[in-house]
Amino acid sequence: MLKCLFKPVGGQSCVSWLLQIALLGVVWAVYEKMIPLGATTLLGAAALVIAIYASFALTKRFETKGD
């Protein structure tokens, strides 16, 4: 299951794509003033960015394993 989620598509895993779309959704919601730009929003966006980088690392790990 994990192998399928972290298989590169367009150079990135599906998980990375979904996290980036989620981050774009947060940015769009702040732009449209659907959610306030506050500490909670910034921490949530920071958590998404960290998760994106972690998914990049996991994708690279699955690529080098060769499984």
The count of domains in the chain is 1
What predicted TM-score, i.e. pTM, was given to this entire model?
0.83
Q: Is the pLDDT of residue 21 over 90?
A: yes
Mutual angle of helices 14-31 and 39-65, in 10-degree steps: 160
Tokens 């998404």 — which residue? 48
In a domain, 51, yes or no: yes
List the domain range (segments joined by +) for residue 46: 37-67
In a domain, 41, yes or no: yes
Q: For residues 43 and 4, which has the higher predicted lDDT (pLDDT)? A: 43
Q: For residues 34 and 62, which has the higher predicted lDDT (pLDDT)? A: 34
What pLDDT sits at residue 6? 75
